[in-house]
């Protein structure tokens, strides 16, 4: 099997992780310079995580359905005269 490598790459896909890395380094330097900002960053992460969990719970609430196991079975079949050939 032969692999073909190109130096051009798939466009500017490298830009997203590079930008995220620069932003994380800038945030780290900013938190080092002003430690009081750490409180706001942690509080923001907690708020975002809480909103995410509430959203996930809301979606799960709509998807979960319970059925009684001791109730009698009900079979709904169409009448025989409905299917005329």
pLDDT in tens, 24-49: 999 999 999 999 999 999 999 999 99
43 falls within a domain: yes
Residues 6+ apart with CB under 8 A from 27: 41
Domain that holds residue 45: 36-60
Interatomic CA distance for residues 23 and 38, integer angstroms: 15
Is residue 52 a part of any domain in this protein? yes
Q: What's the whole-model pTM score? A: 0.50
pLDDT tens digits, one per residue of 2-25: 666 556 666 788 899 999 999 999
Please report whether residue 41 resides in a domain.
yes
**Number of structural domains in the chain:** 1
């Amino acid at each position: 099997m032969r692999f073909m490598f190109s130096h051009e790459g798939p466009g500017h896909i490298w830009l997203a992780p590079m930008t995220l890395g620069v932003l994380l380094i800038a945030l780290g330097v900013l938190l080092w310079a002003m430690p009081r900002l750490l409180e706001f960053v942690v509080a923001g992460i907690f708020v975002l995580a809480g909103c995410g969990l509430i959203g996930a719970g809301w979606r799960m609430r709509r998807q979960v359905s319970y059925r009684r196991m001791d109730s009698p079975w009900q079979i709904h079949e169409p009448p025989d005269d409905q299917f005329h050939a």
